[in-house]
Structures are given as structure tokens and as C-alpha cells.
């Protein structure tokens, strides 16, 4: 498995606790939301390689208008 990097990310994984603290609601849902967010982060960032401008593939970026589906 190759882990790719993207210098144009708006946020990094380390930003998630701060971003989650901005959410309001019942705090009893926090642990479940955190574990779900971890899974979604890995899925979009490492598996599907989705960015704001589209998705990344070994051949290069795919424009957002072509969708953000996995290969």
C-alpha cells in the first residue's frame, strides 16, 4: 500500500479533534462520532484518495466533474 501526500489539503488528521470540538450537540455521541470519523477519514483520504478538486489516481488527478469514485 502506498500512502500519498497532498500539500493542498485544507485539514490534516491531527486537525480532527479541534474540528470536532466546533460541533454542538449531545456530548454522549462524541465517542461514536469520533470512531466513525476515523473510518471515514481513512476511507476518503487513503483508500478513495478524495480531495476538494476531485480524486487522485496513479495517473494523476481526476477532475471533480468526473466524480470522486474509486478506481
Tell me the pLDDT tens digit for each residue of 8-41.
Answer: 567 788 888 888 878 777 777 777 777 888 888 8
- Cα–Cα nearest to 11, from 51, 46, 40: 51
Query: Which of the four pLDDT bands, split at 50, 70 and 90, describes residue 71?
Result: very low
Nearest-angstrom CA–CA distance, 43 and 48: 6
Nearest-angstrom CA–CA distance, 24 and 36: 17
What local confidence, expressed as pLDDT, does residue 30 receive? Answer: 76
pTM summary value: 0.45
Query: Which of the four pLDDT bands, split at 50, 70 and 90, describes residue 53?
Result: confident
What local confidence, expressed as pLDDT, does residue 3 receive? Answer: 53
The domain spans of the chain are 13-65
Amino acid at each position: 500500500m502506498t500512502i500519498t501526500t497532498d500539500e493542498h489539503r485544507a485539514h490534516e488528521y491531527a486537525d480532527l479533534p479541534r474540528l470536532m470540538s466546533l460541533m454542538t450537540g449531545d456530548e454522549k455521541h462524541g465517542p461514536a462520532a469520533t470512531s466513525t470519523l476515523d473510518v471515514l477519514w481513512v476511507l476518503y483520504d487513503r483508500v478513495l484518495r478524495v480531495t476538494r478538486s476531485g480524486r487522485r489516481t496513479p495517473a494523476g488527478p481526476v477532475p471533480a466533474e468526473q466524480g470522486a469514485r474509486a478506481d
